[in-house]
Amino acid sequence: MSPASTNGTTPAVTKKANPAGAVATWADERLGIATATKKQIRKVFPDHWSFMLGEIALWSFVILLLTGVFLTLWFKPSMGEVVYNGSYDQLRGIPMSEAYESTLHISFDVRAGLLMRQMHHWAAMLFIAAMLVHLMRVFLTGAFRKPRELNWVIGGVLLLLGILEGFAGYSLPDDLLSGTGLRIADGLVKATPVLGSYMSFFMFGGEFPGDVIIPRLYIAHVLLIPGLLLAMIAAHMLLLVYHKHTQWPGPGRTEENVVGYPMMPVYAAKAGGFFFIVFGTVALMGGLMTINPVWRFGPYNPAEVTAGSQPDWYMGIAEGLLRIMPGWETHIFGFTISWNVFLPGQIAPIALLMVVLAYPFVEQWITGDKREHHLLQRPRNAPTRTAFLAAMITLYGLLWAAGGNDVIATTFKLNLNHITYFMRGAIFVIPPLVFILAKRWCISLQRHDNDMLLHGYESGVIMRDAQGGYSEKHLPLSPDHAYTLTARARDEVYVGINGTDANGVSAPRRALDQLRAKLSHAWFATNVQKPTAAELEEGHHHAELEHAHDAPLEGVSADGHQFDGRHDVDDEALRPNH
Amino acid sequence: MRLTRKISARLSTGRRSRFAAPAVLLIALLTVGGVVAVISPASSAKTEDDAATIAKGRDLFLVGCASCHGMNGEGIVTKRGNQYGPPLAGVGAAAVDFQVGTGRMPMAQPGAQALRKDPLYNDEEIAALGAFVQSLGPGPAVPTDEELDIAGATTEEIVRGGQFFRTNCTACHNFAGSGGALPKGKFAPSLVGVSAKHMYEAMVTGPQQMPVFSNNVLSPQDKREIIAYLKSQEEAPSYGGFTLGSIGPVAEGLFAWLGVGVLVGGGIWICSQTARSKKNSKKGDAA
Amino acid sequence: MSADDNSGHELEPFGDEPIPDPGLPEHLPRPTDVDPEAEKRAERQVATLFGLSSLFAVLFCVSYFVFDIGDETDEFLGMGASNVFLGTCLGLALLCIGIGAIQWSRKLMSDHEIVEYRHSASSPEEDRVEAVAALEEGIADSGIGRRPLVRNSLIGAMAFLGLPAIVALRDLGPLPGDSLAHTVWKKGMRVVQDVDGAKIKPADMVIGQLVNAEPEVFFETDSEGHHLYEGAELQAEKAKAAVILVRMHPDDITPVDGRENWGVDGILCYSKICTHVGCPISLWEQQTHHLLCPCHQSTFDLADNGKVIFGPAARHLPQLPLAVDAEGYLIATSDFTEPVGPSYWERDRSDLT
C-alpha cells in the first residue's frame, strides 16, 4: 500500500458526471473508504442454507432494536403507584405501577402499540431460538475449530446475554407473570450461600419487590445489555469477515479458498432480502398471534398467582431443573444451604455454559490438532461430537418439558407427579442412550459412505445372471460426489507417551497424558476412516469387471441398464414408447 | 364415630374409589327392587306440588344415583373405608344442579375426577333430584335469576370481580380461566363457556377438590362480580390475534419455534439451487 | 494449553486425498440466462412483488386510521381488527420486498461463483518479530522491569481502586437485618379476606372452605383516610404476610406438639408464600387437604402441619396461630413463629419435630 496513491489531489477512478461518485469521493477524501472496502465489496460468501441460521438471529436483533425504540417512547420504567384510567375497562380504577399502566397504554391507547409489543416479544423469542439453532450448526459441523474458537466463545456469551436481556424484558411490564418471575429470581438469589439475603436486598433496594427493580432492569434492558450485545455482535461479525466463512468440502473447494457468491450484489440481495423476510414473518406473528396478554394477567400482586406460571421458553430448562429437583436443604451451625434452589438455579446453568464455552478447547486438547480448519465436517464424520450434541439436545428437551409439566399434564391428561418422577430419572438415563444411538448411527452412515465409494451406489436395477440369481446393480458415484465424500481428514487416535518417552515426564503430566489418550480412544477409535487410494482402486477394478460383463448391452435400446452414469442417455427414454 | 366424621368431612364431594362393577350392579338391583317397597308420605307442611317433585326426584334418585350414594343419600363406604359415593345430606340442591347439570354426575366410571359431559337429565328432572336431595338436609339452594343477574354489572363491579378472580381463582383455573393441573392427574377445568349458574353453584358447593367459597365470606355480590368479569372477558375480542389457547408462555414458546422453523425453511429456499437450463450446455458434461 | 502448542503430538497437515480434486464444476446457465422470455417474466415477477409491497404499506396506513382501538375496539373475527390488519399489512409489505429481492438475486443477478483465497489467521512471522521488538522496546523504555517498586505500587493502587468501586454500591439497598424473619402479623390482628377486607367469623366458614386472606392492617386507614400501607411498602409486606385460611374437619388435623390450639374449630391459617422460591400458593384440594404450588409443584399437606409431601420445596409451610377476639372474629395470636418464604443463609433451622 503506497500512501502516495491516496494523497493525490485528484481522485483516480471516479467519473466526473456521476453524483454518487462525487459523494464517494468526498467520503473517501475524509475516511479512506476505498481502501477499507475494496476487498469487501466483492467478498465471497459460500451458499448453504445452514449458513443462514445466524442471520435469523442477527435480523431478529435488528427488529428488536427497531421495535424496542418504538416502545421506549411510551413505556415508563417506574414502580410508582398510579390508578389506571385508560381504555381497558376490566382494570379501570385499580392501583398499579406506572410500568404496568404504561404497558396497558401502549397496548390499548397507542395505535400499532400492541403490534410493536407483540413483535418485540416474538422477535426476542426468535432471537434466542435462532442463536441456539446457529450454535448447533456450528457445533455439528466443527466450525468452532481453529481459528474460530474465540468466535465460538463470543457466540456463547451472546447467547447468555440474550437470555439475560430476555429475562429483563419479561420482567419490565410488571404484570402478574413478570412479578412472579422476579419473585422466583429473588428466591434464587436468596439461596446463594452466605450472601443470599444481602444480594436480594441490594438487587431490589430492600425487601422484595421494592420500587427500584424495574428502573434498574430497564436501564440494563435498553442500554447496558444491548450495548454489550451490539459490541459482541460487531466482534462476531468482524471475526467472521477476517476468518472468511467456512465452507462445505466439494470439487474445487479446499482449505485454501472460499467459493461462493460475492457480497455485492448477490449476497447483499440475499441477506437483505432475508432481513425483510424475517421482519415480515415477525410482523405477521405480531399481528396474528397473541403473546404475553398482560391485560389478562393483571398488575403484579404478591398475593396472586396464575396456573401455568411459566417463564419464556429459553428459561424453560432452568424452570424444569427447579421443578424436578428434590427438596434438599442442609442446616449447619444455624445456617441454611438450599441445595434445592442453589444447584438447579445457579450452579447448573453456569456449569452448562462452561461446558459449551470450553468444548472447542477440550476437543482440541484431545485431538492435538493445531491446524486451521475452514472446511466443515459432516456431522456423521465426527460421531462422538454429534452424539454429544444429540445427548445435550435430549437433556435440554427433557428439562424444557419438565418446565412445562403442568401444561403437559393437562394437555395430555397425565399425572403431574408421575411426569416429575419420570423426569428425575429420565435426565440421567435417556441422554446416554441417545448418545450411544446417535454415535452408532453416525458410524453406520460412515460405513454407508465407504460402501458407496468402494462398491458404488444402489441403482435399484436388479440384474439376473446366467445362473438365475438376482443381484442389485451398484453403480459408481460421479467423480464430484466421490471426491466430496473423501474430502476429509483421517482421525488419529492418540496413544500417549507412556513407555516410549516417559522418562523425565512428571507424574501429574503423565496422568493427564493418559487421560488424553483414553479420551482420544473413546473419541475416535470406532470412527470409520475413508478408504485409501489402493482400496478405491480395488473397488474400481471390481466395477470394471462388472462393466465388462454388461458390455453386450451397449447400443441396445435403453432398458434401464444404461442409466448407470457411464452411458449417454440424454436422448433415451426409459422405454422407447414413453 | 369414624363414619360421621367421614360424612361431615366430605359434605358436597364427589369422590369415588375405583371399585368393581359387579358390586355396583348388585346394589343397583337391590335398590331398584326397594323402590316399590318404600312409600314415603308427603310432608304435610309442604304443598302438594313440592311433595310431588320430591317424590319424583326420589324415584329418579333411586334409579340413577342410589347405587353409589345409598338409598337415602347416606353415602356408601367401601370395605376399605373409601368413599364410594359421598353422603348427600346437606349438600343442597345447588350441588345437584351443578353435578348433574354439567353431566359430571352420574359418573361414567370411577376415576380421579368426574368429567364434564352432556347432562343425562333434563332441567325438570334435575330440579326434582335437587328437591329430593335438599329434603335430605338443607344445603345451598340453586341460585335465583336475580342472584345471577350480571346484565347490569357496572365497570366498577367487573373490575372488582377481576380482583376477586385473580386472588381466588387464577391459581387453579389460570388467568384466562383456561384451567390448570392439580396433583395426581386431577385438574381444574376450563371456565370458558360455563354458565353463570354453574359457576355460582361451584363456588357455593365446592365440587370435588375445589374449595368452598361460602356466601358468608365471599358474598353473593362478590360471586356475581366474578362471573360478570369472566363473562366480560369472554365477550371482549382477542386484541392481539389468535389466543394460542391462553395457557401462557409454553404455547408461545412452541409457536416461536414454529416461527424459527418457517424462517429456516426460508433460508433453505434462499440457498437452494435455481433451475438450470440445458440449452447451450454441452452434452455429457452434466454428470 | 498454550505450552502444548508447539510440542507433543503433531498431525500431518492434511489428510491424503485418495481421489484428486476434480476442480470447480462447470457453470450451468439458468433459464433466465438463455431465454429472454424467462428473463422478462422474472423481471416482471420481481417488479410485481415490489409493487405489492408498496400497496401493503399504503394499506397499513389506511388500517392505522380506519380501525379503532381502546374503548371501541373494532373486531375482526373476534380479534382486535387494528392489530390484525396492521400486522398483516406490515408483514406482507416486508415479505414482498424480501421475496422480491431474493428472486432478483436468484433469477437475474449473475450467478457465477467466484473464488477467494484465504490467508492464515496468524500474522506473518516478520510482523510478529517486529511487534515483539516494539513491545520490548516500549517496556524497556518504561523501565517497569527495572523498577519493581513503581510496578508493585501501581498494581497495589489498581487493586485498591476496586474498593471504591465496591463500596460506592453500598447504598443499592439496606441491609437485611432480621426483616425477613418478621411480618406485620401480631397478636390480635384480624384475619380478613383479601380484596374487600371482610372480617371472618369461624361460623362463616364451612368445612372445605378456602379464604385468601390478609392482615387487617392492609385495609386500615389513618385519621385522614390514607391507607396505612400503600404502594411499594404494601407490596413488600404483602409478599410476606399473605395467608390462606382453610377449614377442615377437626378430626382430620394432626397437629404437632404445641400447635394443638393454633386452629379454631378446624380452621387453620398458613402462609401463602411457598417455602421453595416464594410463589403465592392457594391451590388447595379440599378433600385431600393438599396445597399445590402452581410454579414448581411443591405440595404441602395442610392437615399435617403444612409438611412437604412432593416437589422441590424443602421446608413445611409456616403456620399462623389463630384465635377469636371478643367480637367473634378470627385473629392471629402472634406473628409467624419462623420466617416465611424462601430459605436463605441466615435462616435458622426450624424443622418440625
Instruction: Write out pLDDT tens, residues A200-227.
Output: 999 999 999 999 999 999 999 999 999 9
More confident residue, B73 or C235: C235
Q: Among A107-121, A147-161, A357-371, where is mean pLDDT lowest?
A: A357-371
Strands (E), A372-441: none
Which residue in chain B has the smallest CA separation from A123?
B256
Return the residue in C292, C295, C299, C330 with the most chain B beta carbons within 10 A, the one to mutate for interface testing.
C292
Q: How far apart are CA A295 and CA A90, in angstroms?
A: 9
Largest CA distance in chain A: 95
Is the torsion defined by CA of C121, C127, C128, C134 positive or negative? negative
Mean pLDDT for A294-306 is 93
Q: What residues of chain C lie within 8 A of the CB of A252, using their CB?
A: 21-25, 115
Please work out, in degrees rounded to the nearest 5, the angle formed at the alpha carbon of residue B173 by the alpha carbons of B168 and B176.
Answer: 100
For residue B219, the model assigns a pLDDT of: 92
What is the mean predicted confidence (pLDDT) over A448-467? Answer: 85
Collapsing DSSP states into helix, strand and coil, what is residue C324?
Answer: strand
Q: Walk across the sheet containing C299-301 and list its strands.
A: C283-284, C290-292, C299-301, C307-310
Q: What share of chain A is helix, strand, coil (3-state, %, to 5)?
A: 60, 5, 30
- Nearest CA to A40 out of A262, A246, A269 is that of A262
- Residue B167 in this model has a pLDDT that exceeds 80: yes
State mean pLDDT over A97-110: 95
How far C80 CA lies from chain B's nearest CA (Å)?
4
Residues of chain A with C-beta less than 8 angstroms from the C-beta of C99: 273, 277
CA-based nearest residue to A265, from B143, B192, C110, B166: C110
Rounded to 5°, angle at Cα A228 from A226 and A230 = 65
What is the secondary structure of A513-547 as a DSSP string? HHHHHHHHHHHHTTPPPPPPHHHHHHHHHHHHHHH
Closest in B159, B240, B272 to A94, CB measured: B159
Please state the rounded mean pLDDT for residues A550-564. 55
Residue C324 distance to chain A (closest CA, Å) = 24
The torsion defined by the Cα of C186, C190, C194 and C200, in degrees rounded to 10, comes to: 150
For C139-161, the pLDDT digits (tens) are: 999 988 889 999 999 999 999 99
User: In whole numbers, what is the pLDDT of chain A averaged over residues?
Assistant: 88
Cβ <8 Å between A270 and B229: no
The residues facing B120 across adjacent strands are none
* B–C CB contacts, 8 A cutoff, strictly below: 145
Q: Please state which of the ranges C4-13, C109-118, C138-147, C192-201 shows the lowest mean pLDDT.
A: C4-13
Answer with the residue of higher pLDDT: C10 or B166: B166
What distance in Å separates the CA atoms of residue B85 and residue C155, rounded to the nearest whole number?
80
Could you say which DSSP state residue C181 is in?
G
CA distance B211 to A252: 74
Find the range with the poorest average confidence among B11-15, C51-55, C146-150.
B11-15
CB A135 within 8 A of CB A155: yes
* Tens digits of residue pLDDT in C281-292: 989 998 899 999
Round to whole Å and give the CA distance between A171 and A78. 12
Does ipTM top 0.85? yes
Q: Compare all CA atoms of chain C with the CA of B9 and give the residue at the minimum distance.
A: C249
Residues of B in Cβ contact (< 8 Å) with A404: 250
Burial (CB < 10 A; 0-12, 13-18, 19+), residue A252, is middle
Residue among B77, B64, B68, B201 nearest B125 (CA): B64
Cα–Cα distance list, C187 to A179, C93, C178, C183, C340 (Å): 30, 66, 19, 12, 17
pLDDT value of position A489: 86
Q: How confident is the model at residue B210 (pLDDT cuts 50, 70, 90)?
A: very high
Instruction: Tell me the CA distances in angstroms from C8 to A368, A492, A504, A511, C177, one per residue in order.
Output: 8, 14, 14, 15, 57
Smallest CA–CA separation between A382 and chain C, in Å?
Answer: 15
Q: Which residue has the cell 318404600?
A: B38
Query: Cell 447483499 belongs to which residue?
Result: A268
Q: What are phi and psi of C20, to 5 degrees?
A: -70, 150
Predicted confidence band of residue B23 (pLDDT cuts 50, 70, 90)? low
Residue of C nearest to A266 (CA): C105
Residues of chain C found within 8 Å of residue B214, distances taken between Cβ atoms: 204-206, 209
The residue with cell 414454529 is B258
Cα-to-chain-centroid distance, residue A257: 25
Strands A335-337 and C267-271: unpaired
Chains touching A (3+ CB pairs < 8 Å): B, C
Which regions of B172-285 does DSSP assign to beta strands (E)? 180-181, 187-188
Cα nearest neighbour of C182 on chain A? A207
Contact at CB, C252 and B182, closer than 8 angstroms: no
Beta bridge partners, A375, equal A247
Taken as a whole, chain B contains a residue count of 287
- Per-residue pLDDT band for A576 (boundaries 50, 70, 90) equals very low
> How would you classify residue C121: left for phi > 0, otherwise alpha for psi between -120 and 50, otherwise beta?
alpha
pLDDT band at A46 (very low <50, low <70, confident <90, very high): very high
Q: How much of chain C is in helix, strand and coil states, percent to nearest 5? A: 40, 15, 45
Q: Under 8 Å CB-to-CB from B144, ≥6 apart: which residues?
A: none
A177 and B CB contact within 8 Å: yes
Q: Which residue of chain B has the CA closest to A89?
A: B155
DSSP H/E element including C332: strand C330-332
- Which of the pair, A533 or A547, is modelled with greater confidence? A533
pLDDT for res A553: 57
Single pTM value for the model: 0.89
C230 at interface of A, judged by CB pairs closer than 8 A: yes
Q: What integer is the mean pLDDT of A292-300?
A: 94
Kindly tell me if the per-residue pLDDT of A575 is higher than 70: no
Residue of A nearest to C111 (CA): A261
Q: Which residues contact A520 (CB under 8 A, 6 or more apart)?
A: A366, A367, A493, A494, A495
Q: Choose from A290, A396, A400 for mutation: most chain B CBs within 10 A.
A: A290
Using the structure block, give the residue that is written with the C-alpha cell 320430591: B54
CA–CA separation, C39 vs A226, rounded Å?
44
Check: CB of residue C292 under 8 Å from CB of residue C281.
yes
> Which stretches of B111-207 are assigned E, i.e. beta strand?
180-181, 187-188
* pLDDT > 60? residue B5: no
pLDDT at A8: 43
Neighbours of chain B (3+ CB pairs under 8 A): A, C
Which A residues 202-261 touch C at CB under 8 Å? 202-212, 242-244, 251-261
